[in-house]
Amino acid sequence: MKHLALLTSGGDAPGMNAAIRAVVRAAHHYGLAVTGVLDGFDGLVEGRTRALGPRDVSNIIQRGGTLLRSARSEAFRTREGRDRAVAHLRAAGIDAVVVIGGNGSQTGAMTLHAESGMAVIGIASTIDNDLAGTDRTIGFDTACNTAMEAIDRLRDTASSHERLFFVEVMGRDAGFIALRTAIAGGAEYAMVPEARQDIDEVVRVLTQGAAGKGSSIVVVAEGDEQGGAFAIAQRVKERAPQFDIRVSVLGHLQRGGSPTVADRVLASRLGVGAVEHLREGRWGGVLGEVSGRLVLTPFAEAITGRKPAEGDLLRILPILAV
Ligand code: F6P
Protein backbone atom coordinates (compact mmCIF):
# COMPACT_ATOMS: atom_id res chain seq x y z
CA MET A 1 0.00 0.00 0.00
CA LYS A 2 1.47 3.34 -1.09
CA HIS A 3 -1.22 5.91 -1.76
CA LEU A 4 -4.43 6.77 0.15
CA ALA A 5 -7.38 8.93 -0.81
CA LEU A 6 -9.20 10.68 2.01
CA LEU A 7 -12.60 12.35 2.01
CA THR A 8 -15.17 13.79 4.40
CA SER A 9 -18.81 13.27 3.54
CA GLY A 10 -22.35 13.98 4.72
CA GLY A 11 -23.09 16.44 7.51
CA ASP A 12 -19.86 17.95 8.80
CA ALA A 13 -18.95 17.33 12.42
CA PRO A 14 -16.53 19.07 14.80
CA GLY A 15 -13.41 16.90 14.89
CA MET A 16 -13.40 16.01 11.18
CA ASN A 17 -10.37 18.27 10.74
CA ALA A 18 -8.62 16.54 13.61
CA ALA A 19 -9.28 13.21 11.87
CA ILE A 20 -7.93 14.54 8.55
CA ARG A 21 -4.80 15.73 10.32
CA ALA A 22 -4.33 12.36 12.00
CA VAL A 23 -4.73 10.37 8.77
CA VAL A 24 -2.32 12.65 6.87
CA ARG A 25 0.34 12.61 9.57
CA ALA A 26 0.05 8.88 10.20
CA ALA A 27 0.36 8.26 6.47
CA HIS A 28 3.46 10.47 6.43
CA HIS A 29 4.88 8.51 9.36
CA TYR A 30 4.51 5.26 7.43
CA GLY A 31 5.71 6.70 4.11
CA LEU A 32 2.33 6.75 2.32
CA ALA A 33 1.12 9.51 -0.01
CA VAL A 34 -2.30 11.10 0.65
CA THR A 35 -4.68 12.63 -1.87
CA GLY A 36 -7.43 14.70 -0.30
CA VAL A 37 -10.72 14.51 -2.19
CA LEU A 38 -12.73 17.75 -2.10
CA ASP A 39 -16.50 17.92 -1.58
CA GLY A 40 -17.07 14.33 -0.46
CA PHE A 41 -18.17 11.70 -2.99
CA ASP A 42 -19.02 14.48 -5.48
CA GLY A 43 -15.31 15.30 -5.66
CA LEU A 44 -14.51 11.64 -6.16
CA VAL A 45 -16.87 11.48 -9.13
CA GLU A 46 -15.47 14.70 -10.60
CA GLY A 47 -11.82 14.00 -9.74
CA ARG A 48 -11.45 17.17 -7.59
CA THR A 49 -8.44 16.49 -5.40
CA ARG A 50 -5.36 17.99 -3.77
CA ALA A 51 -2.22 16.37 -2.39
CA LEU A 52 -1.98 16.55 1.40
CA GLY A 53 1.28 16.55 3.34
CA PRO A 54 1.90 17.04 7.05
CA ARG A 55 2.25 20.85 6.74
CA ASP A 56 -1.08 21.15 4.90
CA VAL A 57 -2.89 20.07 8.03
CA SER A 58 -1.18 22.45 10.47
CA ASN A 59 -3.43 24.42 12.83
CA ILE A 60 -6.63 22.61 11.98
CA ILE A 61 -7.06 20.33 15.01
CA GLN A 62 -8.93 23.13 16.80
CA ARG A 63 -11.18 24.09 13.88
CA GLY A 64 -14.75 22.93 13.27
CA GLY A 65 -15.98 22.10 9.77
CA THR A 66 -13.79 20.23 7.30
CA LEU A 67 -10.81 21.45 5.32
CA LEU A 68 -11.84 19.13 2.48
CA ARG A 69 -15.44 20.39 2.53
CA SER A 70 -18.36 17.96 2.48
CA ALA A 71 -21.46 17.11 0.49
CA ARG A 72 -24.35 14.70 0.26
CA SER A 73 -23.68 13.38 -3.24
CA GLU A 74 -26.44 12.55 -5.71
CA ALA A 75 -23.94 11.66 -8.44
CA PHE A 76 -22.41 8.86 -6.39
CA ARG A 77 -25.83 7.22 -6.02
CA THR A 78 -25.73 6.33 -9.73
CA ARG A 79 -23.67 3.46 -11.12
CA GLU A 80 -22.26 5.79 -13.77
CA GLY A 81 -21.06 8.23 -11.11
CA ARG A 82 -19.44 5.47 -9.08
CA ASP A 83 -17.68 4.05 -12.16
CA ARG A 84 -16.24 7.51 -12.84
CA ALA A 85 -15.07 7.75 -9.24
CA VAL A 86 -13.30 4.38 -9.40
CA ALA A 87 -11.71 5.31 -12.74
CA HIS A 88 -10.27 8.50 -11.16
CA LEU A 89 -8.91 6.51 -8.21
CA ARG A 90 -7.25 3.92 -10.43
CA ALA A 91 -5.80 6.56 -12.77
CA ALA A 92 -4.21 8.32 -9.79
CA GLY A 93 -2.66 5.06 -8.56
CA ILE A 94 -4.65 5.15 -5.33
CA ASP A 95 -4.86 1.85 -3.49
CA ALA A 96 -7.04 2.69 -0.50
CA VAL A 97 -9.80 5.11 0.48
CA VAL A 98 -10.58 6.54 3.92
CA VAL A 99 -14.14 7.88 4.34
CA ILE A 100 -14.78 10.14 7.33
CA GLY A 101 -18.51 10.45 7.90
CA GLY A 102 -21.76 9.13 9.30
CA ASN A 103 -24.42 6.67 8.29
CA GLY A 104 -25.08 7.76 4.69
CA SER A 105 -21.39 8.26 3.99
CA GLN A 106 -20.49 4.81 5.24
CA THR A 107 -23.20 3.38 2.99
CA GLY A 108 -21.34 5.03 0.09
CA ALA A 109 -18.06 3.60 1.39
CA MET A 110 -19.59 0.11 1.59
CA THR A 111 -20.82 0.32 -2.01
CA LEU A 112 -17.44 1.57 -3.22
CA HIS A 113 -15.73 -1.31 -1.46
CA ALA A 114 -18.20 -3.92 -2.74
CA GLU A 115 -18.23 -2.76 -6.36
CA SER A 116 -14.56 -1.92 -6.85
CA GLY A 117 -12.93 -4.41 -4.50
CA MET A 118 -10.70 -1.56 -3.31
CA ALA A 119 -9.45 -1.24 0.24
CA VAL A 120 -11.95 1.12 1.90
CA ILE A 121 -12.16 1.98 5.58
CA GLY A 122 -14.59 4.32 7.33
CA ILE A 123 -14.03 6.60 10.31
CA ALA A 124 -17.18 7.08 12.41
CA SER A 125 -17.96 10.79 12.37
CA THR A 126 -21.36 12.42 12.80
CA ILE A 127 -22.92 14.56 15.49
CA ASP A 128 -25.85 12.11 15.55
CA ASN A 129 -23.87 9.20 17.11
CA ASP A 130 -26.07 6.83 15.12
CA LEU A 131 -23.46 4.31 13.97
CA ALA A 132 -23.16 0.92 15.66
CA GLY A 133 -19.70 -0.39 16.58
CA THR A 134 -18.52 2.70 18.41
CA ASP A 135 -19.42 4.16 21.77
CA ARG A 136 -19.26 7.69 20.33
CA THR A 137 -18.84 9.16 16.87
CA ILE A 138 -16.55 12.11 16.21
CA GLY A 139 -18.49 15.36 16.71
CA PHE A 140 -21.11 14.00 19.07
CA ASP A 141 -19.47 15.28 22.25
CA THR A 142 -18.97 18.78 20.86
CA ALA A 143 -22.55 18.96 19.59
CA CYS A 144 -23.81 17.88 23.02
CA ASN A 145 -21.71 20.54 24.73
CA THR A 146 -22.96 23.20 22.33
CA ALA A 147 -26.57 22.20 22.92
CA MET A 148 -26.02 22.07 26.67
CA GLU A 149 -24.60 25.61 26.70
CA ALA A 150 -27.62 26.80 24.73
CA ILE A 151 -29.95 25.12 27.23
CA ASP A 152 -28.09 26.80 30.10
CA ARG A 153 -28.69 30.18 28.46
CA LEU A 154 -32.33 29.38 27.79
CA ARG A 155 -32.72 28.37 31.43
CA ASP A 156 -31.63 31.86 32.50
CA THR A 157 -34.36 33.56 30.51
CA ALA A 158 -36.90 30.80 31.21
CA SER A 159 -36.42 31.31 34.96
CA SER A 160 -36.64 35.11 34.70
CA HIS A 161 -40.00 34.89 32.94
CA GLU A 162 -41.27 31.65 34.50
CA ARG A 163 -41.64 30.06 31.08
CA LEU A 164 -41.78 26.59 29.60
CA PHE A 165 -39.27 26.11 26.79
CA PHE A 166 -39.26 23.40 24.14
CA VAL A 167 -35.72 23.06 22.79
CA GLU A 168 -35.26 21.05 19.61
CA VAL A 169 -31.90 19.41 19.03
CA MET A 170 -30.52 17.52 16.02
CA GLY A 171 -29.85 13.80 15.80
CA ARG A 172 -31.75 12.68 12.71
CA ASP A 173 -33.61 9.48 13.76
CA ALA A 174 -31.74 9.09 17.03
CA GLY A 175 -32.20 10.67 20.44
CA PHE A 176 -28.59 10.52 21.65
CA ILE A 177 -28.00 14.29 21.63
CA ALA A 178 -31.41 14.94 23.19
CA LEU A 179 -30.95 12.50 26.06
CA ARG A 180 -27.43 13.60 26.99
CA THR A 181 -28.22 17.30 26.85
CA ALA A 182 -31.45 16.84 28.79
CA ILE A 183 -29.50 15.23 31.62
CA ALA A 184 -26.60 17.69 31.43
CA GLY A 185 -28.88 20.72 31.13
CA GLY A 186 -31.14 19.67 34.01
CA ALA A 187 -34.19 19.46 31.74
CA GLU A 188 -37.60 18.46 33.06
CA TYR A 189 -38.36 16.10 30.17
CA ALA A 190 -36.85 14.64 26.99
CA MET A 191 -38.77 13.49 23.94
CA VAL A 192 -36.80 10.96 21.89
CA PRO A 193 -37.66 8.57 19.06
CA GLU A 194 -36.45 5.59 21.09
CA ALA A 195 -39.29 5.95 23.63
CA ARG A 196 -43.05 6.03 23.13
CA GLN A 197 -44.30 9.18 24.83
CA ASP A 198 -47.63 10.92 24.33
CA ILE A 199 -48.58 14.54 24.75
CA ASP A 200 -50.89 13.86 27.69
CA GLU A 201 -48.01 12.33 29.59
CA VAL A 202 -45.83 15.35 28.84
CA VAL A 203 -48.56 17.65 30.12
CA ARG A 204 -49.04 15.52 33.24
CA VAL A 205 -45.32 15.54 34.05
CA LEU A 206 -44.99 19.27 33.43
CA THR A 207 -48.10 20.15 35.40
CA GLN A 208 -47.08 18.06 38.39
CA GLY A 209 -43.47 19.16 38.15
CA ALA A 210 -44.39 22.81 37.74
CA ALA A 211 -45.41 23.03 41.39
CA GLY A 212 -42.81 25.25 42.99
CA LYS A 213 -40.71 25.50 39.84
CA GLY A 214 -40.06 28.78 38.09
CA SER A 215 -39.31 27.31 34.70
CA SER A 216 -39.36 24.07 32.73
CA ILE A 217 -37.32 22.83 29.79
CA VAL A 218 -38.30 20.00 27.48
CA VAL A 219 -35.62 18.78 25.08
CA VAL A 220 -37.09 17.42 21.85
CA ALA A 221 -35.11 15.23 19.45
CA GLU A 222 -35.76 16.34 15.86
CA GLY A 223 -36.64 12.72 14.99
CA ASP A 224 -39.29 12.34 17.69
CA GLU A 225 -42.44 10.75 16.31
CA GLN A 226 -44.67 13.41 17.93
CA GLY A 227 -43.31 16.00 15.49
CA GLY A 228 -40.97 18.94 15.92
CA ALA A 229 -40.79 21.25 18.93
CA PHE A 230 -43.23 23.80 17.45
CA ALA A 231 -45.92 21.15 16.82
CA ILE A 232 -45.46 19.65 20.27
CA ALA A 233 -45.54 23.06 21.95
CA GLN A 234 -48.80 23.87 20.20
CA ARG A 235 -50.44 20.65 21.36
CA VAL A 236 -49.25 21.19 24.94
CA LYS A 237 -50.61 24.75 24.87
CA GLU A 238 -54.04 23.46 23.78
CA ARG A 239 -54.15 21.15 26.80
CA ALA A 240 -52.41 23.41 29.33
CA PRO A 241 -53.02 27.07 28.40
CA GLN A 242 -51.62 28.24 31.74
CA PHE A 243 -48.06 27.68 30.48
CA ASP A 244 -46.22 30.61 28.92
CA ILE A 245 -44.44 28.64 26.19
CA ARG A 246 -41.48 29.45 23.95
CA VAL A 247 -39.70 27.29 21.39
CA SER A 248 -36.06 27.26 20.37
CA VAL A 249 -34.72 25.14 17.51
CA LEU A 250 -30.95 24.92 17.83
CA GLY A 251 -30.35 23.58 14.31
CA HIS A 252 -26.97 23.86 12.62
CA LEU A 253 -25.38 25.70 15.54
CA GLN A 254 -24.75 22.19 16.84
CA ARG A 255 -22.63 21.30 13.80
CA GLY A 256 -20.04 24.05 14.17
CA GLY A 257 -17.45 25.17 16.67
CA SER A 258 -14.14 24.07 18.04
CA PRO A 259 -14.11 20.35 18.93
CA THR A 260 -13.91 19.28 22.56
CA VAL A 261 -10.96 17.37 24.02
CA ALA A 262 -12.96 14.14 23.72
CA ASP A 263 -13.60 14.68 20.00
CA ARG A 264 -10.03 15.74 19.22
CA VAL A 265 -8.59 12.70 20.97
CA LEU A 266 -11.13 10.31 19.43
CA ALA A 267 -10.45 11.74 15.95
CA SER A 268 -6.70 11.47 16.47
CA ARG A 269 -6.89 7.85 17.58
CA LEU A 270 -9.26 6.83 14.78
CA GLY A 271 -7.23 8.67 12.12
CA VAL A 272 -3.97 6.98 13.06
CA GLY A 273 -5.82 3.70 13.60
CA ALA A 274 -7.35 3.80 10.12
CA VAL A 275 -3.94 4.11 8.47
CA GLU A 276 -2.52 1.33 10.63
CA HIS A 277 -5.49 -0.93 9.83
CA LEU A 278 -4.99 -0.38 6.10
CA ARG A 279 -1.28 -1.20 6.37
CA GLU A 280 -2.18 -4.42 8.15
CA GLY A 281 -4.68 -5.38 5.44
CA ARG A 282 -7.75 -4.71 7.60
CA TRP A 283 -10.56 -2.78 5.94
CA GLY A 284 -14.16 -3.24 4.75
CA GLY A 285 -15.73 -1.58 7.76
CA VAL A 286 -16.07 1.44 10.01
CA LEU A 287 -13.46 2.13 12.64
CA GLY A 288 -14.79 3.17 16.03
CA GLU A 289 -13.90 2.99 19.69
CA VAL A 290 -15.58 0.64 22.16
CA SER A 291 -14.59 0.76 25.82
CA GLY A 292 -11.34 2.51 24.92
CA ARG A 293 -10.30 0.03 22.21
CA LEU A 294 -10.37 0.50 18.44
CA VAL A 295 -12.89 -1.78 16.73
CA LEU A 296 -13.46 -2.34 13.00
CA THR A 297 -17.13 -3.16 12.39
CA PRO A 298 -18.19 -4.45 8.95
CA PHE A 299 -19.94 -1.67 7.00
CA ALA A 300 -23.37 -3.34 6.90
CA GLU A 301 -23.35 -3.95 10.64
CA ALA A 302 -22.20 -0.43 11.51
CA ILE A 303 -24.87 1.14 9.31
CA THR A 304 -27.90 -1.02 10.11
CA GLY A 305 -27.05 -2.18 13.62
CA ARG A 306 -29.09 -0.47 16.32
CA LYS A 307 -26.89 1.02 18.96
CA PRO A 308 -28.90 0.82 22.18
CA ALA A 309 -30.24 4.16 23.32
CA GLU A 310 -28.90 5.30 26.65
CA GLY A 311 -32.03 4.00 28.34
CA ASP A 312 -30.63 4.51 31.81
CA LEU A 313 -30.53 8.26 31.12
CA LEU A 314 -34.23 8.20 30.24
CA ARG A 315 -34.93 6.34 33.47
CA ILE A 316 -33.00 8.72 35.73
CA LEU A 317 -34.28 11.93 34.13
CA PRO A 318 -37.55 12.03 36.14
CA ILE A 319 -35.65 11.17 39.33
CA LEU A 320 -33.43 14.20 38.76
CA ALA A 321 -36.13 16.53 37.52
CA VAL A 322 -38.41 16.60 40.59
O1 F6P B 1 -26.41 14.06 10.22
C2 F6P B 1 -26.11 15.28 10.80
C3 F6P B 1 -27.30 16.21 10.73
O4 F6P B 1 -26.93 17.45 11.31
C5 F6P B 1 -28.59 15.69 11.36
O6 F6P B 1 -28.59 15.83 12.76
C7 F6P B 1 -29.61 16.53 10.68
O8 F6P B 1 -30.85 15.86 10.63
C9 F6P B 1 -29.04 16.69 9.29
O10 F6P B 1 -27.65 16.44 9.38
C11 F6P B 1 -29.23 18.05 8.67
O12 F6P B 1 -28.75 17.98 7.37
P13 F6P B 1 -28.42 19.24 6.46
O14 F6P B 1 -27.17 19.88 6.96
O15 F6P B 1 -28.25 18.66 5.10
O16 F6P B 1 -29.58 20.17 6.58
Domain ranges of the chain: 3-139+259-304, 141-255
Spatial distance between the Cα atoms of 312 and 295, rounded to a whole number of angstroms: 24
Nearest CA, atom 8, ligand 1: 172
H/E run at residue 143: helix 140-161
From 170, 176, 180, 220, give the residue whose CB has the most ligand 1 atoms within 8 Å, as the site to mutate: 170
Spatial distance between the Cα atoms of 307 and 280, rounded to a whole number of angstroms: 28
- Measured at the CA of 71, the angle between CA 68 and CA 72, to 5 degrees, comes to 150
From 8, 107, 128, 250, give the residue whose CB has the most ligand 1 atoms within 8 Å, as the site to mutate: 128
pLDDT score, position 213:
87
Q: 141-255 is classed in which CATH architecture? A: 3-Layer(aba) Sandwich (3.40)
Nearest ligand 1 atom to the CA of 171 is 6
pLDDT score, position 309:
82
- State how far the alpha carbon of 26 is from the alpha carbons of 34, 57, 98, 274, 278, in Å: 10, 12, 13, 9, 11
Which residues have C-beta within 8 Å of that of residue 25, sequence separation ≥ 6? 54, 57, 271, 272
Spatial distance between the Cα atoms of 219 and 240, rounded to a whole number of angstroms: 18
pLDDT score, position 310:
87
- State how far the alpha carbon of 11 is from the alpha carbons of 43, 47, 51, 274, in Å: 15, 21, 23, 20
Contact 142, 259 (CB under 8 A): yes
DSSP 8-state assignment for residue 117: -
Spatial distance between the Cα atoms of 193 and 100, rounded to a whole number of angstroms: 26
pLDDT score, position 211:
72
With b for 16 or more beta-carbon neighbours within 10 A and e for fewer, the 33-59 pattern comes to bbbbbbbbbbbbbbeebeebeeeebee
pLDDT score, position 306:
85
- The Å distance, Cα 172 to ligand 1 centre, comes to 7
Q: Mind listing the pLDDT tens digit of every residue in the chain (322 residues)?
A: 999 999 999 999 999 999 999 999 999 999 999 999 999 999 999 999 999 999 999 999 999 999 999 999 999 999 999 999 999 999 999 999 999 999 999 999 999 999 999 999 999 999 999 999 999 999 999 999 999 999 999 999 999 999 999 999 999 999 999 999 999 999 999 999 999 899 999 999 999 876 778 899 999 999 999 999 999 999 999 999 999 999 999 999 999 999 999 999 999 999 999 999 999 999 999 999 999 999 999 999 999 998 888 879 999 999 999 8
- The Å distance, Cα 149 to ligand 1 centre, comes to 20
- The Å distance, Cα 69 to ligand 1 centre, comes to 15
Spatial distance between the Cα atoms of 279 and 75, rounded to a whole number of angstroms: 30
Nearest ligand 1 atom to the CA of 172 is 8
CATH number, span 3-139+259-304: 3.40.50.450
Nearest CA, atom 11, ligand 1: 11
Instruction: State the pTM of this model.
Output: 0.98
- Give the sheet arrangement for strand 96-101, strand by strand: 49-51, 33-37, 3-8, 96-101, 119-124, 285-290, 293-298
Are domains 3-139+259-304 and 141-255 of this chain identical in fold?
yes
With a Cβ cut-off of 6 Å, ligand 1 is lined by 11, 102, 126-128, 170-172, 222, 255
